[in-house]
Amino acid sequence: MVVEDSAPKRALAIAERARRAGIPVDKAHEGECDRLTGVEASGIAAEVTFHYAELVEVRGAGGLIVLLDGVEDPHNLGAVVRTAEAAGAVAVVIPARRAAQVTAAVVRVSAGAALALPVVRVANIGQAVETLGRAGYRTVGLDQEAEKPLETGPKGEATALVVGAEGAGLSRLVAARCQELARLPMAGRVGSLNASVAAGIAIYKLSENRL
């Protein structure tokens, strides 16, 4: 852990508690913590290892699981995790490659939800969709070209919502593995929404019977 001399009292108090717990604490120059973390760190930073959950740990819980097919913007990932946690989702699933991972920026944007909600990292999102389908989940891919609008399922239904990447949407292989594709109704001239906004609307739509 590192802390700046000019850090706020709350950060200095955290550093002192870390020292008493036997955690090494070094001093840093002003602005160093922001540089190390890539976010506004309030004068304190620590290197930690984020624990990703396993799909097998969450697939038996029922409820709503959100899968992100290649979302690359850390701010979008953080926003989705925050919304999913607020709506009572079971987990968020991300691919291990070619997608945003959980970083300090993601934790900050999620308002800490990334530390409260299981985030699962898998090698292949398409295979994860199939696994959840076999486990009894209704697997729904969000696709603005789909014929039918997104609908809330029966109360208590286990649902896996699959959201595509910024701009590109769902990949062809992932879409093919979803049991159904659905769109968000759009009345305006703009034909699409930001990935995290679309995910947020869909998350709450599918959570209506649980909230």
**Residue 124: which CATH number?**
3.40.1280.10
Rounded CA separation 56/120 (Å): 10
Q: What is the mean pLDDT of the chain?
A: 91
Q: What percent of the chain has pLDDT over 90?
A: 61
Q: Does residue 18 fall inside a structural domain? A: yes
pLDDT above 80 (res 189) = no
Which residues of 109-176 form beta strands (DSSP E)?
Answer: 119-122, 138-142, 159-164
Indicate whether 114 and 32 sit together in one domain: no
pLDDT band at 33 (very low <50, low <70, confident <90, very high): confident
Indicate whether 114 and 175 sit together in one domain: yes
What does the pLDDT read at residue 170? 93
pLDDT above 80 (res 68) = yes
Task: Provide the 3-class DSSP secondary structure of residue 180.
Answer: strand
Indicate whether 70 and 27 sit together in one domain: no
pLDDT band at 182 (very low <50, low <70, confident <90, very high): very high
pLDDT above 90 (res 61) = no
Indicate whether 82 and 165 sit together in one domain: yes
Indicate whether 11 and 82 sit together in one domain: no
How many structural domains is the chain composed of?
A: 2
Q: What percent of the chain has pLDDT over 70?
A: 100
Structural domain boundaries enclosing 102 = 55-206
Please state the pTM of the whole predicted model: 0.85
Indicate whether 110 and 29 sit together in one domain: no
